[in-house]
Amino acid sequence: MSVVPAWEGATAGSAALAAQINQFLGTHSASYLYAGTLKESQTTNGSAHTSGSATLYIAQSFTTATGQTAIGYVSAPIDSSTATGATLGTTTLSLYANSGGAPTGSPLISTTLTTEYAYFGSSSGSSDNVSLIYPLPISSLTASTEYWLVLAPAGNGTNHYTWRQSNQTSGASTSTNGTSWTAQAYGLQYSVYDQTPTGLITSTYEDSGTRWTATTYVATTNQIHTFGEYTAGQTATGYTQGFRTYTYSSGLLTGVA
């Protein structure tokens, strides 16, 4: 019998479980995503951000390009108000189909988003206008068709995720239940890339998103600038998350923080 193990992060203070051992004994399904080609974007900064709460879904629409049937990853300025998952649980960024100008059905693909990644990735919470990479590899989409990026609810009035608005006067929608949507008089910032295998490796997406990585590079030298990684845990709060920034001097690595 062939068993394909799933990634599973250990919980601090607990003994190792069988799944954590077996996950290294089989082949994991993985998508390797390169820089690719930018297909759709809205990156002009607006004057505010939209905050998620325990009951608010936030969504942004976009239309696939002519001939585009795949997405590799998206980048978006999603931030967090806190640096610890103990006070703000994970959320998801998902791709949805469109019906009647709103998200519909079940997610076509999702990526888990942690507060640690959003907070440290956005310059340690000092800016809510820094775009981070989120792998969402999916094929068999329909070209020239409207889809939605949806950030699921998490947190409360004190601790929450935010998504920076663009200068557009439409494109965003919100919902308290994930089914009934209200169009907003603003848009959200985003960039959508395809799966063209060009450029440097930007992300990996393994075992349906139970593990993913995201990498940025120094533009002038192609050396790694930041590296983020997520591995699902035994519980929603038992995940492992890392985010590191690399610094150089005269082309040599001088620090990892």
Expressed as residue numbers, the domain containing 106 is 27-256
Q: What confidence category does residue 193 fall into, taking pLDDT thresholds of 50, 70 and 90?
A: very high
Is 7 a member of any domain?
Answer: no
Is 13 a member of any domain?
Answer: no
Q: For the chain, what is the domain count?
A: 1
Question: Residue 239 and residue 227: Cα distance in Å, rounded?
Answer: 17
Question: Residue 186 and residue 173: Cα distance in Å, rounded?
Answer: 9
Q: How many CA atoms lie within 13 A of 178 on its CB side?
A: 15
Is 22 a member of any domain?
Answer: no
Amino acid at 219: A
The angle at the Cα of 111, spanning 69 to 91, to the nearest 5 degrees, equals 140
Q: Please write the tens of the pLDDT for every residue from 197-228.
A: 999 999 999 999 999 999 999 999 999 999 99
Which value, to the nearest 10 degrees, does the dihedral of the CA atoms of residues 63, 44, 137, 93 take? -100
The strand pair at 78-80 and 161-166 is best described as antiparallel
Longest dimension (CA), the chain: 57
Is 66 a member of any domain?
Answer: yes
CB contact at 8 A, 140 and 69: yes
Is 233 a member of any domain?
Answer: yes
Is 156 a member of any domain?
Answer: yes
Is 15 a member of any domain?
Answer: no
* pTM, to two decimals: 0.91
CB contact at 8 A, 8 and 210: yes
Q: Is 208 helix (H, G, I), strand (E, B) or coil?
A: helix
Is 19 a member of any domain?
Answer: no
Question: Residue 65 and residue 25: Cα distance in Å, rounded?
Answer: 40
The pLDDT value recorded for residue 4 is: 58
The strand pair at 211-217 and 224-231 is best described as antiparallel
Q: Please write the tens of the pLDDT for every residue from 69-121.
A: 999 999 999 999 899 998 999 999 999 999 999 999 999 999 999 999 999 87
